[in-house]
Structure 1
């Protein structure tokens, strides 16, 4: 009899858990995203389910440090989630992972699943899938560095609002994820919660940085809430408290180092001014009194660092007599914390030829590093076009200067015309674009073109990186 009772009790427990997971089976609005500049991976979502496994909606999130993030939702299945994790570790792309999951669904029914996957190692490549038998309203949207998905939603407005907010919110990825959830906080966003007077019942926000290990940079979870209390409000309170707790801590990604000018003569005496701005995770300058340690990769001479008393610090670097470049790194020591600032400053040492409308034209093509870099919202790009001599006749050059995102999509054409020899500068305004890494490419002619006399003439192509930080 005792064994029978134990067996019966176990069966009831298993049935109870099964029912709970069935309740989780169709739900949720969520976003998984990466920051290709900082290497951060973020995951956030909410659902009208209670404390499944003690964590509620958080059960759908899987973030792999330095690699990517996966959301498995709708009819959630632990085996499918683990398989997706394993396939990402194997190096499959987001779409390849989804294709594999559809073919190899743990229960042979992928039509009730919903996935969103973003890969940091592939410059933010993303993919999503919504099975035809997920409950309405259901949909997903993807873009460079993010995937947003949901089911049993109030309508497309939830997906659209989340996407618009994420793309137009400035700051670090943690702030953008929290704002994205707030935008979706509409009563009945997950329609089952309309009777509760809330958008959802449980929610979470998670951000992982490279080097976090088993301690995520941010992980806040609301596994359950009483009727009338929205978990997104609870998350916001937890998020605000987290921000306050880190108010006096140096943030390696929001702290900055600037150098002006970024190109100085290689004469052994010219100097560039280095400005260091230690900031917290609210993008606010910290109090003065920090110890700043500078290092450089080249042979320029760094001066001692001066505390300007307003939270900023200043130093100079003196050029060597040889042409080249220097990359300058910063370590900030604040109490017991030692933080390496993520950003670096680059200074070039050169002996440029003075250029004017009536002067001798330069002899070499050159695409300069944009300045400032990182920038917000605009930066200047300078390039040099030399004389091209063919059959003792000066030739103009057809020049294109274009900007691309990390996926190779063309963002802007800055120059597309014939240019005489000379040095030119143009401004690029990134207002309206997302923070991240961008590329700008200068092309003069084709990589190899033929002159009128049939002789091959080598063209010029050069690409450089720039960072837009909103």
Structure 2
């Protein structure tokens, strides 16, 4: 009923998963920063994931940890698991009673697995997407999940999706290990919705902008003033000069949207922030010449 990918790049560990099942993110993915990650699915037994993570933390490799955990589970014929350690070793298991199509692929630093799939092409496309996509682990996981979804995914349809990526000290204000943690619990197109949510998470919480993706404040001052005036953040004249009042209005809007960490102190705006402002104007039906 589920397809997932578990992976590491040696720093981050993570799981991405989708299913025709309510809130799959509450059941399948488990991970610990600096240790590894596990997906437990089919007739999932989350206790196996917790046990495997403890075994990985003790120094046991992924394959042995998986074998030991399954040895304690009488329902193992109905289980499906994928395991990756921070060292990059990976292992997977598909029980003999997992509903067809069921299977897995183990690669370098990752494993993909699924059951009740339209066919093996779901896993094959996921593996290929993960191996060829450039970027951080989160980008590769999302690409793999999208590839599996595009290939047909769960043959019963779609309902939920989730992604979790852990990085030591990589979370909010450096106070947690949660680099990314998003769930779509019930949606007609959960993988696309997950990607939409990630675009907001990335803009709000991650600091990984392309240094060339900027716009000059002087070039967009008129548009920004028009939009911020309609949105209620700018009360001055719309004259097209980026003055103190415009800067203050822009910062007030950025704070309202939780983008404080994306406000620059020079003559530029991050392209991602500017596009969000324009898209917000369009969403509200404002006519903006940008």
TM-score, shorter chain, exceeding 0.5: yes
Alignment correspondent of 1:223: 185
Alpha-carbon distance in 2 for matches of 1:35, 1:157 = 24
Tell me the secondary structure at the aligned position of residue 135 of structure 2.
Answer: coil
User: CA separation of 1:182/1:94 partners in 2, compared to 1, >3 Å: closer, same or farther?
Assistant: same
Aligned to 2:44: 76
Equivalent-residue separation in structure 1 for 2:51 and 2:85 (angstroms): 16
Answer yes or no: is the 8 Å Cα contact 1:45–1:58 preserved in 2. Answer: no
Say whether the 8 Å CA contact 1:185–1:232 is kept in structure 2.
yes
2:83 maps to which of 89, 101, 117 = 117
Match of 1:323 in 2: none
Indicate conservation of the 8 Å contact 1:43/1:205, yes or no: yes
1:207 maps to which of 144, 160, 165: 165
Q: Secondary structure at the match of 1:170?
A: coil
Matches within 5 A, 1:380-391: none
* Structure with the greater alpha carbon radius of gyration: 1
CA–CA separation in structure 2 for the residues paired with 1:78 and 1:42: 16
In structure 2, the partner of 1:28 is 2
Q: What is aligned with 1:186?
A: 150
Any conservation in 2 of the 1:47–1:202 contact (CA below 8 Å)?
yes
Structure in which a larger fraction of residues adopt strand = 1
Give the paired residue count.
215
1:102, distance to aligned residue in structure 2 (A):
2.2
Alpha-carbon shift at residue 48 of structure 1 (Å): 0.6
Match status 1:43 vs 2:26: no
5+ residue gaps, structure 2, are 216-260, 265-290
Find the residue that maps to 2:186 and give its secondary structure.
coil
Match of 2:202 in 1: 243
Q: Provide the rounded CA distance (Å) in 2 between the counterparts of 1:285 and 1:67.
A: 35
Give per-residue Cα distances to partners, 1:336-378, cap 9 Å, x unaligned: 99xxxxxxxxxxxxxxxxxxxxxxxxxxxxxxxxxxxxxxxxx
Q: Distance in 2 between matches of 1:127 and 1:237?
A: 31
Change (3 A) 1:284 1:111: farther
Say which structure is richer in helix: 2
Rounded to whole Å, the distance in 1 between the matches of 2:15 and 2:182 is: 11
TM-score, normalised to structure 1, is 0.43
Paired residues for 1:293-312 under 5 Å: none
The Cα of 1:109 is off from its aligned counterpart by 2.3
Corresponding residue to 1:143 among 107, 111, 117: 107
- On the 8 A contact 2:98/2:115 being kept in 1, the answer is yes
What stretches of structure 1 move > 3 A for 4+ residues in a row? Answer: 212-215, 283-288, 334-337
Q: Deviations 1:67-88 (Å, cap 9, x if unpaired)?
A: 1111111111132222222222
Q: Name the CA shift for 1:134/1:335 in 2 (closer, same or farther; >3 Å).
A: closer
d(CA) in 2 for partners of 1:118, 1:90: 14
- In the alignment, the residues of structure 2 paired with residue 186 and residue 166 of structure 1 have an alpha-carbon distance, to the nearest angstrom, of 14
Q: Which runs of 5+ in 1 are unaligned?
A: 1-26, 194-199, 252-279, 289-333, 338-470
* Greater relative contact order (Cα < 8 A, sep 6+): 2
